[in-house]
Amino acid sequence: MKWSPRGSSPDVIDQRGGGGGGRSRGRGAAIGGGGLGLGGILIVVLLQVLGGGGGGSGSGFDIGQVLQGAGGGPVAGEPIPAGEDPEKDLKDFSAYVFGDAQDRWTAIFSEQGRDYGRAKLVLYRSGVSTGCGDASSAVGPFYCPADQRVYLDLSFYQDMIDQLKAPGDFAWAYVIAHEIGHHVQQELGTAAEVDAARRKDPSDANALSVRQELQADCYAGVWARGVYQAGQLEPGDVDEAFTAAESVGDDRLQRQAGGRVQPDSFTHGTSEQRRRWFTTGQTTGDPSRCDTFAADDI
């Protein structure tokens, strides 16, 4: 993808050197993008409690190893010296995609006579306090509706390459655009409708979650259409996004047991469904085509 750094990014809150420091403002369920949501947190906590699933050092599960990813980034809690940020390019690119996606949605909302309230992107390392409770990077990227922030540990980029086999800048961009898709659902009131329906009929909760996730994929595709129209797509970009969308499908994650990313039971749809809905958004560029809730066959 063609891009250039935007300079300062008012949408981005960099907490990587600050050791958390987020505020808790009530509770709401986080929506996982790398796959995972609260189920993932619970699994990690259970693994810690049970002392299982680790690297066999004899001392039980080493959560530190899991959270650190492939390393190379700054250490949580230690300030990053100016000019010495090993993740600078990835941070700049993430900020670019986040800002670009929000600009695109601002324009789409405006065409419909609506205002778009911008979300924030919080970069953190290892663990973070959010309006949806405390989270560790083991859950992958996620959006918290309660504080309207996307939470991202940049080390997930390496996990996508090593564990999910989904390399490439546009694969990463897809993940960010998917999280913005959840914010769009929040802005449109879709998320509240889903929550109400879920409370009314808890047995339907999983099916609703799948449709909510697939809609966020479709919205990511709508953003990708804008990138294409701006002449910024490069050969292979869309394939990278396909690979990423497929690799974070629940069926694939179920086969990745043992990695840092843990499956949440089929709340994100299959790989084929994720690819299909991303394509719908990407080929039409029309968010009204992303009504996964009305579709008989997803």
DSSP string, 136-165: EGGG-SEEETTTTEEEEETTHHHHHHHTS-
Residue range at the interface with Zn ion (CB under 5 A); choices 25-33, 43-51, 88-96, 227-235:
25-33
Q: Each residue of 103-113: b (16+ CB within 10 Å) or e?
A: ebbeebbeeee
The encoded tokens of residue 206 equal: 């999983």
- Closest contact distance (angstroms) between CB of 267 and Zn ion is 9
- The count of residues in the chain is 298
Residue range at the interface with Zn ion (CB under 5 A); choices 80-88, 131-139, 213-221, 251-259:
213-221
Three-class SS state of 43? helix
Cα–Cα dist 69/185, whole Å:
30
Query: Under a CB-based contact definition with an 8 Å cutoff, are residues 182 and 215 in contact?
Result: no
- Closest contact distance (angstroms) between CB of 181 and Zn ion is 7
| 69 belongs to the binding site for Zn ion (CB under 5 A) | no
Binds Zn ion by CB under 5 A, chosen from 213, 246, 250, 264: 213
Residue range at the interface with Zn ion (CB under 5 A); choices 5-13, 29-37, 49-57, 82-90:
29-37
Nearer to Zn ion, 179 or 237 (CB): 179
- Closest contact distance (angstroms) between CB of 178 and Zn ion is 6
Binds Zn ion by CB under 5 A, chosen from 22, 33, 221, 281: 33
- Closest contact distance (angstroms) between CB of 126 and Zn ion is 21
- Closest contact distance (angstroms) between CB of 206 and Zn ion is 14
Three-class SS state of 280? helix
The C-alpha angle 152, 219, 237, rounded to 5 degrees, equals: 75
- Closest contact distance (angstroms) between CB of 246 and Zn ion is 14
Nearer to Zn ion, 35 or 127 (CB): 35
Nearer to Zn ion, 213 or 240 (CB): 213
Nearer to Zn ion, 80 or 220 (CB): 220
**Nearest to residue 170, comparing CAs of 237, 245, 224, 233?**
237
* Cβ neighbour number for residue 148 with a 10 Å cutoff: 16
Q: Which residues bind Zn ion (CB under 5 A)?
A: 33, 213, 216
